Chain A
Amino acid sequence: MKKILFAIFVLSAIVTSAQNTFETAFIEHLVNKGDYREAIFLIDKNNLKLKGAQADSVYYFKGWSHYSIMQLEKSAKALQKVSEQSVFYYKARFFAAYNTIHLGNYEQANAILQQTNAEQHLYKNLRTYQQSGIGLLNKDFAAAEKYLAVTDSTLSPLYEPLKNLKLIKTELQQHKAKSPLLAGLMSAVLPGSGKFYVGKKGQAISTFIGTVGLGLITWENYRKVGLVNVKTIFFGSVFAANYVSNIYGSAVAAKVEENDYQNVMQNQILFNLHIPLRNIFE
């Protein structure tokens, strides 16, 4: 009886372990196929009790799946659980940091990078490179400069992106934001000039023609039939509405233009932070 019980125990342990290995292999298969939602579903549903390398692999697959379907917060959370012993450790750590940067949590991203055990020359430099990106995104040019200076530009995966980040830094430092107040004032003086100042030349010309045209119609009617006339009142109202909305529109356009510029620069920084990660880990 004792022998049978022992056999049951040993066999169940062996079979459970084999099943977990097989399950992990299947999850990997799903991830490789691009069935990310299915992989996540399976990991969450089965609640696998794994240890060591298998647990690390599952955390990595979960994180990678979330990353692939742009669920960055969940991705960062899972990737951070991958232990140092795992073959996926560096990839998981750097992608966790990158996801956190993408989410705008720069302090947390910095913490993840600092906690990463990066003794190898490449990873050490990749870390300072990522930190320089965080500095740029934070508009902390001194920190960005510090990290850019210590990053080894001779490392081939970092050579081009590092050059790009330096250019972005110079560009950001030289950039002068368009003033919404000035754009509004300019449009009040000369319709369309505010939009010209913002850089929307086509819109500036059409606004100028529209507003001046309506102004001329109003003036013509006022001159010939007087103020208290349905035509003068109608065209005058349309002109006034057009004139005021143009002033407001110019101020908004300046704001939008600045936001667009910042978004473009942010995307460029994120893109350049992403390139070496792809080159090194894939």
Chain B
Amino acid sequence: MLCKTKFFLTCIFLCAIFSNSRASVQAADSLFEAGKYFQAAIEYEYLIFTSNDAMLSNSYRLKKALCYKQSGNYKQAVNQLQTIYIPDKSLVLFAEVSYQHALCLYLINDYQNALWKIDDYSMWVSDSTLLARFMPLKALLYNEIHQWDKAQAELINYAGFLPDTEKNDFVETVEQLYSKKNLPKIKKITTAEHLSRYIPGAGQAYAGKPGEGALNFLIQLSCLAFGAHQLSNGFTTFQFWNAFPFTGYLGGIGMLSKVYVGGIKRAGILAAQANNEQMAAFNHQINHLVTETLDE
């Protein structure tokens, strides 16, 4: 009897050792903590593969998505997050999945879908404290689509969740940031192109590069002057045979047309660049402001 008991106990002991030898949540988490996101993603996938619990599987899927996010594969993170379905919308996991999903969509510049994701979450959840986390992200998304009023409103709402000591300062800073003079001056690309079409160099100046605009204008003027001079040579003395029609037309006007068309295109590119720079600088200020409140 004793021998049989020993035998079965040994069997149980060995089974326990071997069955736990592959993967565990701790192993996956420690790989994640160590920054080994690729390996961690495999471990989480293994946990998903072996798990029979839908809720646990969803939490592993979220962690796998975070691995992708941390390694900069935002698109893959979005794809992974899309596979998560949580029927109980009141769970913290649902809030986390929705937040990470919206954030990753923001990171791949899919602003409309990110906003839709947040709106979808707020439809299910009425607890405003849970929604507070989404507000700064929503403000950044509104900034990207130039809806300043809505972005400001989100940040003002967010201030409501801050301690009283910080609230006033935060609101003041937000109002200052969103005052008309501080808002990014978004340049219309078509306007920049049209300006350069009618007044050479004006589009570049509109896009914030007056020096480049002036240079473009001078080059075009020089080409025109050279062409006109070559064509009109001899006209004052009525010695038309002294004119240079080929040099004037093909050399001067030909070159002018190239610089003119190039100038229009360049104005559009400069306007787009200026918009990107301004948006990045503006969002950086918002990020800084929100991060400060989180740190405290």
Q: Is B49 an interface residue (CB 8 A)?
A: yes
Which of A12, A29, A35, A216 contacts B18 (CB under 8 A)? A12
Residues of chain A contacted by B49 (CB below 8 angstroms)? 26, 29
- Find out whether the CB atom of B22 lies under 8 angstroms from the CB atom of A19: yes
Chain B residue nearest in CB terms to A46: B22
Near B by CB (< 8 A), chain A positions 200-238 give 213-214, 216-217, 219-221, 224, 231, 235
For the complex, count residues of B whose C-beta is within 8 A of A: 26
- Find out whether the CB atom of B11 lies under 8 angstroms from the CB atom of A220: no
* Size category of the binding interface on chain A: 20 to 34
- Find out whether the CB atom of A38 lies under 8 angstroms from the CB atom of B45: yes
Bound-state CA distance A212–B39 (Å) is: 64
Indicate whether A221 sits within 8 Å of B3 (C-beta atoms), given known contacts A8-B14, A29-B49. no
- Find out whether the CB atom of B244 lies under 8 angstroms from the CB atom of A213: no
Residues of chain A contacted by B46 (CB below 8 angstroms)? 26
Indicate whether A35 sits within 8 Å of B14 (C-beta atoms), given known contacts A3-B3, A216-B250, A224-B242. no
Q: Is B251 an interface residue (CB 8 A)?
A: yes
Residues of chain A contacted by B245 (CB below 8 angstroms)? 220
**Main SS of the interface on chain B?**
helix
Residues of chain B contacted by A19 (CB below 8 angstroms)? 18, 21-22
- Find out whether the CB atom of B246 lies under 8 angstroms from the CB atom of A41: no
- Find out whether the CB atom of B246 lies under 8 angstroms from the CB atom of A3: no
- Find out whether the CB atom of A30 lies under 8 angstroms from the CB atom of B11: no
Indicate whether A7 sits within 8 Å of B11 (C-beta atoms), given known contacts A19-B18, A217-B250. yes
Q: Is A4 an interface residue (CB 8 A)?
A: yes
Please encode chain A, from 1 to 43, with 1 for each CB lying within 8 Å of some chain B CB and 0 for all others: 0011001100110011001001100100110010101100110
- Find out whether the CB atom of A224 lies under 8 angstroms from the CB atom of B244: yes
Bound-state CA distance A66–B177 (Å) is: 52
Residues of chain A contacted by B15 (CB below 8 angstroms)? 11, 15
Residues of chain A contacted by B254 (CB below 8 angstroms)? 213
Q: Is B10 an interface residue (CB 8 A)?
A: yes
- Find out whether the CB atom of B10 lies under 8 angstroms from the CB atom of A8: yes
Bound-state CA distance A8–B22 (Å) is: 19
- Find out whether the CB atom of A217 lies under 8 angstroms from the CB atom of B3: no
Residues of chain A contacted by B41 (CB below 8 angstroms)? 38
- Find out whether the CB atom of B3 lies under 8 angstroms from the CB atom of A11: no
Which of B22, B45, B251 contacts A30 (CB under 8 A)? B45
Residues of chain B contacted by A22 (CB below 8 angstroms)? 22
Near A by CB (< 8 A), chain B positions 225-264 give 242, 244-247, 250-251, 254
- Find out whether the CB atom of A35 lies under 8 angstroms from the CB atom of B251: no
Separation in Å of the B196 CB from the closest CB of chain A? 24
- Find out whether the CB atom of A38 lies under 8 angstroms from the CB atom of B42: yes
Q: Is B7 an interface residue (CB 8 A)?
A: yes
Bound-state CA distance A23–B39 (Å) is: 15
Near A by CB (< 8 A), chain B positions 1-51 give 3, 6-7, 10-11, 14-15, 18-19, 21-22, 38-39, 41-42, 45-46, 49
- Find out whether the CB atom of B246 lies under 8 angstroms from the CB atom of A216: yes
Residues of chain B contacted by A42 (CB below 8 angstroms)? 42
* List of 5 A-B pairs having minimum Cβ-Cβ separation, nearest first: A15-B18, A213-B250, A216-B246, A220-B246, A11-B14
7 inter-chain pairs at a CB distance below 8 angstroms, sorted by A residue, are: A8-B14, A214-B250, A216-B246, A217-B246, A221-B244, A224-B244, A235-B251
With A11-B15, A26-B46 already in contact, 7 other A-B pairs whose C-beta atoms are closer than 8 Å: A4-B10, A11-B18, A12-B14, A38-B41, A41-B42, A220-B244, A231-B247
Q: Which residues of A contact B (CB under 8 A)?
A: 3-4, 7-8, 11-12, 15-16, 19, 22-23, 26, 29-30, 33, 35, 37-38, 41-42, 213-214, 216-217, 219-221, 224, 231, 235
